[in-house]
Structure 1
Amino acid sequence: MRNILLIQFRKNKLIANQEKKCLLKILKKKGVNLTSENLFLEKAEILSKYLTRVDGIIIGGSGEFSFSKKNNYLDLFKKIKESAPFIKKAIKKDIPILGICLGHQYLSYIFGSKVTSEEKQKEFGTFNVHLTPVGKKDPIFYSIVDNFLAQQGHEDCVKSLPKNAILLAKSDNCKIEGFKIKNKNVYGVQFHPELEKKDSKARLKMAGIKEGIEFKESPLAKKVIINFLKLKQKKTLHHEESCAMRHRRSDSNAQPLVLETNALPIELRRLP
């Protein structure tokens, strides 16, 4: 990969900038460019131009919004509805996608899963993440040990795996820490692979949260980002166009990609 798009859902500009800087620190060492679009500063229509400009997409986190808090969930769901068509097109083009924290929940949600808040699954601090047997073999976790430390900061969690998804990782608290959509380079991770100990502590201060949360070093987690950069589109647009008829014949019995628009709240299904 040479060009990555970061999609953000943040009103706090300090944290939005920090998120971008943390990713840039990893990407620059690999010669990868990063462009970001914050959907609370820009309209989702701006995303369409990136379908032919990027090699991968990262959907970032956001501690400001929750799927389970009524005081802000309509703002979040509106942005999800506006941006989901772009994500659907990107998936059909086989552009690799990585959802981080909120992005992990976002992907699970548009694939029909429920996102909820459960006290026992909340995680704030540094926690052990355990790879499943499938996760141990997946390229996104290449050269990462079976149990590794990662930075966490979430109240919400994915209640159940999305349709056509494979569980790749879990923790002692959270039962879905990582998943992949079958036969697609579409991944979600609940933890923050872009953050180090010092980054997590700095983010707490930016969010106005008092000290008292314990953080540890998590040197292996960033390998998820590095491994993501190695993923490639399975087909080029030219290949898709030239082989369209052959693919339709050979895939006539395959299940189509379905994003669950009915999962959206009834208020948003009425939005124009």
Structure 2
Amino acid sequence: MTGARPFLFLSARPEVEAVGPEYESVRRAMGVDSDRLEHVRLDVETLRSSDLARYAGVVVGGSPYNVTTADEHKHPVQRRVEDDLARVAESALGGGRPLLFTCYGIGVLTRLLGGEVGTEHGEDAAAVEITLTEAGVEDPLTGVLPRRFDALVGHKEATERLPEGAVLLASSVACPVQVYRVGTSGVYATQFHPEVTATDFVARANVYRHHGYFPAAELRAVSERLAAASVTEPQQLLRRFAALADA
């Protein structure tokens, strides 16, 4: 679309070998060219709030950081990343551009808004069935998805109590909060990864095999299980996000 505003992808992965592939997965799923999806690595540089007005929408990627880590044990980079993401969320909730947090980002948003994040509902790296709520079926973003679909997950923490006023849009058996919406300006958060194919996730599992998402000795079995998964629906979420932001 000639003259259309760009989108912004914010990553927070210190592992450089995972950064480029994550960006490409998001770009591909959104259905936009690289000249429309700008990239800022929050683990490397801070983001000025004034920059956000340039973008049609913002997507936040995942990270091995954990929101539940005690503040005094968080690396200074993680604390800065979370401060930046809080400012992004506050800007969007104040009537700014559409915003989609994924995986790690859902914890940042939940805690910012007064919800509760804990480790009770973590999920091993796998494909799991996601079910939309009635609100999810009716929502302009998640309503593009089937009522039930498979998505790829891998997380140690999750939302245990929704922020006040948040609308639950999707759940899984092991993780009750998979997607929610807050406010009226298009701010969403997903626990599952909407950007990845099974092949993408196998490559990511290799990068994070020593990060506690599964026993490192089981990498081959995990990779085979992921490779056998048929996961195609979640990427529609990012394409729909881009379409809504452009509307």
TM-score (norm 1): 0.77
Report the CA distance between 1:73 and its aligned residue.
3.2
Question: Which protein has the larger Cα radius of gyration, Structure 1 or Structure 2?
Answer: 1
Report the CA distance between 1:72 and its aligned residue.
5.3
Distance 1:225 1:191, change over 3 A: same
Match of 2:83 among 81, 84, 95: 81
Aligned to 1:66: 66
Q: Deviations over 1:241-262 (max 9, x none)?
A: xxxxxxxxxxxxxxxxxxxxxx
1:25 aligns with 2:20: no
Contact 1:95/1:233 (<8 A) preserved = no
Aligned to 1:151: 152
Matches of 2:18 and 2:73, distance apart in 1: 18
Q: Gaps (5+ residues) in structure 2?
A: 210-215
Report the CA distance between 1:14 and its aligned residue.
1.1
Match of 2:221 among 204, 212, 215: 212
Report the CA distance between 1:196 and its aligned residue.
0.6
Report the CA distance between 1:9 and its aligned residue.
1.3
SS of residue paired to 2:79: helix
Aligned to 2:212: none
1:221 aligns with 2:223: no
Report the CA distance between 1:143 and its aligned residue.
3.1
Distance 1:30 1:224, change over 3 A: farther
Matches of 2:67 and 2:34, distance apart in 1: 35
Q: Gaps (5+ residues) in structure 1?
A: 235-272
* Superposed counterparts of 1:41-190, under 5 Å: 41-43=44-46, 46-62=47-63, 64-70=64-70, 73-75=74-76, 76-118=78-120, 120-190=121-191
Aligned residues, how many?
Answer: 230
Report the CA distance between 1:32 and its aligned residue.
7.2
Q: Deviations over 1:152-202 (max 9, x none)?
A: 110110111112100000001001000001323100010001001100101
Amino acid at match of 1:22: S
Matches of 2:140 and 2:115, distance apart in 1: 24
SS of residue paired to 1:142: helix
SS of residue paired to 1:37: strand
Amino acid at match of 1:106: V
Distance 1:139 1:32, change over 3 A: farther
Report the CA distance between 1:138 and its aligned residue.
0.6
Matches of 1:68 and 1:88, distance apart in 2: 20
SS of residue paired to 1:229: helix
Aligned to 2:204: 203
SS of residue paired to 2:204: helix
Matches of 1:23 and 1:78, distance apart in 2: 23
Contact 1:3/1:33 (<8 A) preserved = yes
Report the CA distance between 1:232 and its aligned residue.
3.6
Distance 1:207 1:121, change over 3 A: closer
Matches of 1:162 and 1:193, distance apart in 2: 22
Contact 1:122/1:155 (<8 A) preserved = yes
TM-score (norm 2): 0.85
Match of 1:8 among 7, 11, 31: 11
Report the CA distance between 1:110 and its aligned residue.
1.1
Contact 1:2/1:31 (<8 A) preserved = no
SS of residue paired to 1:139: coil
Contact 2:29/2:236 (<8 A) preserved = no
Matches of 2:35 and 2:189, distance apart in 1: 21
SS of residue paired to 1:126: strand
Identity %: 23
Distance 1:105 1:91, change over 3 A: same
Matches of 1:200 and 1:72, distance apart in 2: 28
**Stretches (4+) displaced over 6 A:** none
Aligned to 2:213: none
